[in-house]
Amino acid sequence: MKNHKQNTHFVHIGNQILNWYTQNARELPFRKTKNPYHIWICEIIFQQTRIVQGMQHYENFVARFPNVETLAAADSDEVLLYWKGLGYYSRALNIHKAAHQIMGDFNGLFPEKYEDIMSLKGIGKYTAAAISSICFGKQIPAIDGNFYRVLSRIFADDFDVSSSQAYAYFEALAMQIIPENAAGDFNQAIMDLGSEICKPRNPFCSECPVHKECNAFQTGKIADFPVKTKKVKVENLALQYYFVGFKNQFLIQQRGDDFIWKKLFEFPTEIPDSFLDFILDEKVIKHKLTHKNLSITISKIELNSNNAFKNFAQSNGFSIINKKIAHLKPFPKPLENYLKNL
Protein backbone atom coordinates (compact mmCIF):
# COMPACT_ATOMS: atom_id res chain seq x y z
CA MET A 1 0.00 0.00 0.00
CA LYS A 2 1.90 3.00 -1.25
CA ASN A 3 -0.62 5.85 -1.33
CA HIS A 4 -2.48 6.86 1.82
CA LYS A 5 -5.16 9.48 1.35
CA GLN A 6 -7.00 10.71 4.39
CA ASN A 7 -10.57 9.46 4.41
CA THR A 8 -13.30 8.58 6.85
CA HIS A 9 -12.15 4.96 7.02
CA PHE A 10 -8.69 5.99 8.19
CA VAL A 11 -10.17 8.36 10.77
CA HIS A 12 -12.48 5.58 11.93
CA ILE A 13 -9.51 3.28 12.56
CA GLY A 14 -7.79 5.97 14.62
CA ASN A 15 -10.91 6.60 16.69
CA GLN A 16 -11.36 2.89 17.37
CA ILE A 17 -7.80 2.64 18.67
CA LEU A 18 -8.27 5.75 20.81
CA ASN A 19 -11.58 4.45 22.22
CA TRP A 20 -9.90 1.16 23.08
CA TYR A 21 -7.13 3.04 24.89
CA THR A 22 -9.63 5.12 26.86
CA GLN A 23 -11.10 1.92 28.28
CA ASN A 24 -7.93 -0.17 28.56
CA ALA A 25 -5.03 2.19 29.25
CA ARG A 26 -2.53 0.79 31.72
CA GLU A 27 -2.31 2.52 35.10
CA LEU A 28 1.18 4.00 35.04
CA PRO A 29 2.52 6.75 37.35
CA PHE A 30 3.90 8.91 34.56
CA ARG A 31 0.48 9.02 32.88
CA LYS A 32 -0.81 11.11 35.75
CA THR A 33 1.41 14.04 34.79
CA LYS A 34 2.08 16.35 31.88
CA ASN A 35 5.43 17.37 33.37
CA PRO A 36 7.83 17.25 30.40
CA TYR A 37 10.79 16.40 32.63
CA HIS A 38 9.07 13.27 33.97
CA ILE A 39 7.83 12.27 30.51
CA TRP A 40 11.36 12.73 29.14
CA ILE A 41 12.94 10.51 31.80
CA CYS A 42 10.32 7.78 31.46
CA GLU A 43 10.58 7.77 27.66
CA ILE A 44 14.35 7.30 27.79
CA ILE A 45 14.16 4.55 30.42
CA PHE A 46 11.34 2.61 28.79
CA GLN A 47 12.94 2.71 25.36
CA GLN A 48 15.46 0.21 26.67
CA THR A 49 13.57 -1.95 29.17
CA ARG A 50 10.13 -3.36 29.82
CA ILE A 51 7.87 -1.20 31.97
CA VAL A 52 7.61 -3.82 34.73
CA GLN A 53 11.39 -4.03 34.96
CA GLY A 54 12.06 -0.31 34.64
CA MET A 55 9.35 1.15 36.88
CA GLN A 56 11.39 1.05 40.09
CA HIS A 57 14.37 2.59 38.27
CA TYR A 58 12.15 5.41 37.03
CA GLU A 59 10.66 6.08 40.46
CA ASN A 60 14.08 6.03 42.14
CA PHE A 61 15.55 8.35 39.51
CA VAL A 62 12.85 11.03 39.70
CA ALA A 63 12.79 10.77 43.50
CA ARG A 64 16.51 11.61 43.65
CA PHE A 65 16.42 14.05 40.71
CA PRO A 66 12.88 15.50 40.80
CA ASN A 67 13.55 18.29 38.30
CA VAL A 68 16.00 19.56 35.72
CA GLU A 69 17.79 21.80 38.22
CA THR A 70 18.50 18.94 40.62
CA LEU A 71 19.73 16.72 37.80
CA ALA A 72 22.01 19.39 36.35
CA ALA A 73 23.54 20.07 39.77
CA ALA A 74 24.37 16.41 40.37
CA ASP A 75 27.72 14.77 39.72
CA SER A 76 27.79 12.51 36.66
CA ASP A 77 28.95 9.55 38.76
CA GLU A 78 25.83 9.84 40.90
CA VAL A 79 23.62 10.03 37.81
CA LEU A 80 25.27 6.85 36.53
CA LEU A 81 24.78 5.20 39.91
CA TYR A 82 21.02 5.81 39.75
CA TRP A 83 21.04 4.44 36.20
CA LYS A 84 22.73 1.24 37.37
CA GLY A 85 21.01 -1.87 36.13
CA LEU A 86 19.39 -0.23 33.11
CA GLY A 87 22.32 -0.46 30.71
CA TYR A 88 22.86 1.98 27.84
CA TYR A 89 24.81 4.22 30.20
CA SER A 90 25.54 6.75 27.47
CA ARG A 91 21.87 7.69 27.69
CA ALA A 92 22.30 8.66 31.34
CA LEU A 93 25.25 10.86 30.40
CA ASN A 94 23.21 12.43 27.60
CA ILE A 95 20.34 13.16 30.00
CA HIS A 96 22.81 14.86 32.33
CA LYS A 97 24.26 16.95 29.50
CA ALA A 98 20.77 17.86 28.27
CA ALA A 99 19.87 19.05 31.77
CA HIS A 100 22.84 21.43 31.60
CA GLN A 101 21.60 22.62 28.19
CA ILE A 102 18.15 23.36 29.59
CA MET A 103 19.64 25.30 32.48
CA GLY A 104 21.99 27.26 30.21
CA ASP A 105 20.02 27.72 26.99
CA PHE A 106 16.42 27.77 28.22
CA ASN A 107 16.76 29.40 31.66
CA GLY A 108 15.96 26.14 33.42
CA LEU A 109 12.58 25.75 31.69
CA PHE A 110 11.92 22.69 29.58
CA PRO A 111 11.54 23.89 25.97
CA GLU A 112 8.09 23.62 24.37
CA LYS A 113 8.98 23.80 20.67
CA TYR A 114 9.65 20.50 18.91
CA GLU A 115 12.80 21.89 17.29
CA ASP A 116 14.16 23.08 20.64
CA ILE A 117 13.45 19.73 22.26
CA MET A 118 15.28 18.06 19.36
CA SER A 119 18.32 20.23 20.10
CA LEU A 120 18.82 18.59 23.48
CA LYS A 121 21.60 16.02 23.79
CA GLY A 122 20.42 12.46 23.23
CA ILE A 123 16.86 13.34 22.17
CA GLY A 124 15.76 12.03 18.79
CA LYS A 125 12.58 12.33 16.76
CA TYR A 126 10.62 9.75 18.74
CA THR A 127 11.32 11.22 22.18
CA ALA A 128 10.78 14.79 20.97
CA ALA A 129 7.46 13.78 19.40
CA ALA A 130 6.34 11.97 22.56
CA ILE A 131 7.11 14.97 24.78
CA SER A 132 5.60 17.45 22.31
CA SER A 133 2.36 15.51 21.92
CA ILE A 134 1.83 14.40 25.53
CA CYS A 135 2.94 17.57 27.31
CA PHE A 136 2.25 20.35 24.82
CA GLY A 137 -0.59 18.99 22.70
CA LYS A 138 1.31 18.98 19.41
CA GLN A 139 -0.17 16.87 16.61
CA ILE A 140 2.97 14.78 16.05
CA PRO A 141 3.13 10.95 15.92
CA ALA A 142 5.89 9.34 18.01
CA ILE A 143 7.06 6.70 15.57
CA ASP A 144 8.74 3.64 17.07
CA GLY A 145 8.68 -0.12 16.61
CA ASN A 146 5.09 -0.28 17.85
CA PHE A 147 3.95 2.15 15.15
CA TYR A 148 5.85 0.22 12.47
CA ARG A 149 4.30 -3.07 13.54
CA VAL A 150 0.72 -1.91 14.10
CA LEU A 151 0.41 0.21 10.96
CA SER A 152 2.19 -2.20 8.64
CA ARG A 153 -0.17 -4.98 9.78
CA ILE A 154 -3.35 -2.90 9.60
CA PHE A 155 -2.59 -1.88 6.01
CA ALA A 156 -0.57 -5.00 5.07
CA ASP A 157 2.05 -2.48 4.05
CA ASP A 158 5.32 -3.96 2.80
CA PHE A 159 7.40 -0.79 3.18
CA ASP A 160 10.76 -1.90 4.61
CA VAL A 161 10.99 -0.67 8.22
CA SER A 162 14.77 -1.01 8.11
CA SER A 163 14.91 1.60 5.33
CA SER A 164 16.29 5.04 6.14
CA GLN A 165 13.00 6.42 4.82
CA ALA A 166 10.83 4.34 7.15
CA TYR A 167 10.36 6.99 9.83
CA ALA A 168 9.16 9.62 7.38
CA TYR A 169 6.95 7.11 5.56
CA PHE A 170 5.15 5.85 8.66
CA GLU A 171 4.98 9.34 10.14
CA ALA A 172 3.01 10.45 7.09
CA LEU A 173 0.80 7.37 7.32
CA ALA A 174 0.18 7.91 11.03
CA MET A 175 -0.88 11.50 10.40
CA GLN A 176 -3.78 10.15 8.35
CA ILE A 177 -5.33 8.25 11.25
CA ILE A 178 -4.49 10.28 14.38
CA PRO A 179 -7.72 11.80 15.73
CA GLU A 180 -7.68 15.57 15.81
CA ASN A 181 -6.14 17.14 18.92
CA ALA A 182 -5.43 13.73 20.44
CA ALA A 183 -1.89 12.87 19.37
CA GLY A 184 -0.62 12.47 22.95
CA ASP A 185 -3.21 9.88 23.89
CA PHE A 186 -3.00 8.24 20.47
CA ASN A 187 0.77 7.81 20.74
CA GLN A 188 0.32 6.13 24.11
CA ALA A 189 -2.51 4.03 22.69
CA ILE A 190 -0.21 2.65 20.00
CA MET A 191 2.43 1.94 22.66
CA ASP A 192 -0.08 -0.09 24.69
CA LEU A 193 -1.61 -1.77 21.65
CA GLY A 194 1.81 -2.74 20.30
CA SER A 195 3.19 -4.03 23.59
CA GLU A 196 0.07 -5.78 24.93
CA ILE A 197 -1.91 -6.92 21.86
CA CYS A 198 -0.07 -6.50 18.55
CA LYS A 199 3.09 -8.19 19.77
CA PRO A 200 5.98 -9.14 17.49
CA ARG A 201 5.25 -12.83 18.08
CA ASN A 202 1.98 -14.51 19.02
CA PRO A 203 -0.19 -11.38 18.94
CA PHE A 204 -3.66 -11.46 20.49
CA CYS A 205 -5.44 -10.51 17.28
CA SER A 206 -8.91 -11.47 18.48
CA GLU A 207 -8.59 -8.86 21.25
CA CYS A 208 -7.42 -6.10 18.91
CA PRO A 209 -9.94 -3.25 18.50
CA VAL A 210 -9.23 -3.03 14.76
CA HIS A 211 -8.79 -6.71 13.82
CA LYS A 212 -11.75 -6.47 11.43
CA GLU A 213 -9.98 -3.65 9.58
CA CYS A 214 -6.55 -5.29 9.77
CA ASN A 215 -5.56 -6.47 6.28
CA ALA A 216 -2.76 -8.70 7.56
CA PHE A 217 -5.11 -10.48 9.98
CA GLN A 218 -7.91 -10.84 7.45
CA THR A 219 -5.53 -12.39 4.90
CA GLY A 220 -3.72 -14.60 7.41
CA LYS A 221 -0.38 -12.82 6.93
CA ILE A 222 0.29 -11.32 10.36
CA ALA A 223 3.70 -13.05 10.51
CA ASP A 224 4.76 -11.33 7.26
CA PHE A 225 4.62 -7.83 8.74
CA PRO A 226 6.43 -5.62 9.37
CA VAL A 227 8.89 -6.19 6.54
CA LYS A 228 12.53 -5.84 7.59
CA THR A 229 15.29 -6.82 5.17
CA LYS A 230 18.46 -5.46 6.77
CA LYS A 231 20.09 -7.50 9.50
CA VAL A 232 22.46 -5.75 11.88
CA LYS A 233 25.84 -7.44 12.08
CA VAL A 234 26.68 -8.69 15.57
CA GLU A 235 30.28 -8.22 16.71
CA ASN A 236 32.05 -10.69 18.97
CA LEU A 237 34.25 -8.93 21.49
CA ALA A 238 36.70 -10.40 24.04
CA LEU A 239 37.60 -8.41 27.16
CA GLN A 240 40.23 -9.18 29.80
CA TYR A 241 40.07 -7.84 33.35
CA TYR A 242 42.27 -8.40 36.40
CA PHE A 243 40.71 -8.23 39.84
CA VAL A 244 43.80 -7.12 41.76
CA GLY A 245 43.31 -7.39 45.48
CA PHE A 246 45.17 -7.08 48.75
CA LYS A 247 43.29 -8.31 51.82
CA ASN A 248 39.82 -6.69 51.57
CA GLN A 249 40.80 -4.00 49.06
CA PHE A 250 40.96 -3.99 45.26
CA LEU A 251 41.67 -1.67 42.35
CA ILE A 252 39.34 0.08 39.91
CA GLN A 253 39.50 2.76 37.24
CA GLN A 254 36.89 4.82 35.42
CA ARG A 255 36.32 4.15 31.74
CA GLY A 256 36.51 6.91 29.15
CA ASP A 257 33.61 7.99 26.97
CA ASP A 258 34.82 6.61 23.66
CA PHE A 259 33.51 3.03 23.80
CA ILE A 260 31.00 0.80 25.58
CA TRP A 261 30.13 1.41 29.24
CA LYS A 262 31.06 5.08 29.10
CA LYS A 263 32.24 6.55 32.40
CA LEU A 264 31.51 3.36 34.35
CA PHE A 265 34.09 1.78 36.64
CA GLU A 266 36.08 -1.33 35.83
CA PHE A 267 39.01 -3.44 37.01
CA PRO A 268 42.53 -3.08 35.55
CA THR A 269 42.90 -4.41 32.03
CA GLU A 270 46.67 -4.97 32.20
CA ILE A 271 49.11 -6.14 34.88
CA PRO A 272 52.89 -6.55 35.10
CA ASP A 273 54.27 -10.03 34.46
CA SER A 274 55.34 -10.24 38.09
CA PHE A 275 51.64 -10.42 39.10
CA LEU A 276 50.90 -13.51 37.00
CA ASP A 277 52.14 -15.85 39.73
CA PHE A 278 49.45 -14.51 42.06
CA ILE A 279 46.46 -15.44 39.88
CA LEU A 280 44.11 -17.56 42.01
CA ASP A 281 41.43 -18.32 39.44
CA GLU A 282 39.81 -17.11 36.24
CA LYS A 283 36.18 -16.72 35.35
CA VAL A 284 34.71 -16.29 31.87
CA ILE A 285 31.43 -14.38 31.67
CA LYS A 286 29.24 -14.22 28.58
CA HIS A 287 27.24 -11.02 28.17
CA LYS A 288 25.16 -9.54 25.36
CA LEU A 289 24.93 -5.89 24.41
CA THR A 290 23.08 -4.42 21.46
CA HIS A 291 24.94 -5.74 18.41
CA LYS A 292 27.78 -7.14 20.56
CA ASN A 293 28.46 -10.52 22.13
CA LEU A 294 30.98 -10.15 24.93
CA SER A 295 33.29 -12.79 26.34
CA ILE A 296 34.74 -11.35 29.55
CA THR A 297 37.64 -13.06 31.32
CA ILE A 298 38.27 -11.93 34.90
CA SER A 299 41.49 -13.13 36.52
CA LYS A 300 41.49 -12.88 40.29
CA ILE A 301 44.83 -11.81 41.76
CA GLU A 302 45.62 -11.67 45.46
CA LEU A 303 48.90 -9.89 46.20
CA ASN A 304 50.92 -10.56 49.33
CA SER A 305 52.65 -7.19 49.40
CA ASN A 306 50.89 -3.97 50.37
CA ASN A 307 53.74 -1.96 48.82
CA ALA A 308 53.40 -3.72 45.47
CA PHE A 309 49.62 -3.19 45.62
CA LYS A 310 49.87 0.53 46.39
CA ASN A 311 52.74 1.19 43.98
CA PHE A 312 50.83 -0.45 41.12
CA ALA A 313 47.76 1.64 41.97
CA GLN A 314 49.67 4.90 42.22
CA SER A 315 51.73 4.46 39.07
CA ASN A 316 48.68 3.60 36.95
CA GLY A 317 46.07 5.94 38.42
CA PHE A 318 43.88 3.23 39.97
CA SER A 319 41.59 3.87 42.92
CA ILE A 320 41.78 1.60 45.95
CA ILE A 321 38.35 0.60 47.29
CA ASN A 322 36.54 -2.16 49.16
CA LYS A 323 33.20 -3.88 48.53
CA LYS A 324 31.30 -1.41 50.72
CA ILE A 325 32.52 1.55 48.68
CA ALA A 326 31.99 -0.40 45.44
CA HIS A 327 28.22 -0.32 46.04
CA LEU A 328 28.39 3.45 45.59
CA LYS A 329 30.08 3.17 42.19
CA PRO A 330 28.41 2.37 38.87
CA PHE A 331 29.88 -0.77 37.30
CA PRO A 332 28.89 -2.61 34.11
CA LYS A 333 26.41 -5.36 34.95
CA PRO A 334 28.87 -8.27 34.48
CA LEU A 335 31.40 -6.68 36.84
CA GLU A 336 28.69 -5.74 39.32
CA ASN A 337 27.54 -9.36 39.41
CA TYR A 338 31.14 -10.56 39.80
CA LEU A 339 31.55 -8.37 42.88
CA LYS A 340 28.28 -9.64 44.37
CA ASN A 341 29.51 -13.22 44.09
CA LEU A 342 32.91 -12.66 45.70
Q: Which long-range contacts (CB under 8 A, 24 or more apart) does 22-29 make?
A: 22/185, 24/192, 25/188, 25/189, 25/192, 26/51, 26/192, 26/196, 28/55, 29/55, 29/58, 29/59
Other CB atoms within 10 A of residue 129 CB: 25
Q: What is the C-alpha R_g of the chain? A: 24
The whole-angstrom separation of Cα 31 and Cα 17 is: 18
- Annotated catalytic residue within 43, 78, 180, 266: 43
The whole-angstrom separation of Cα 41 and Cα 277 is: 48
Q: Is 43 an annotated catalytic residue?
A: yes
145 neighbors 163 (Cβ within 8 angstroms): no
* CB burial readout 230-239, b (16+ within 10 A) else e: eeeeeeeeeb
135 neighbors 149 (Cβ within 8 angstroms): no
166 neighbors 133 (Cβ within 8 angstroms): no
The whole-angstrom separation of Cα 67 and Cα 125 is: 22
Strands (E), the chain: 235-246, 249-254, 265-266, 279-289, 292-302, 319-321
The whole-angstrom separation of Cα 284 and Cα 294 is: 10
Catalytic residue IDs: 43
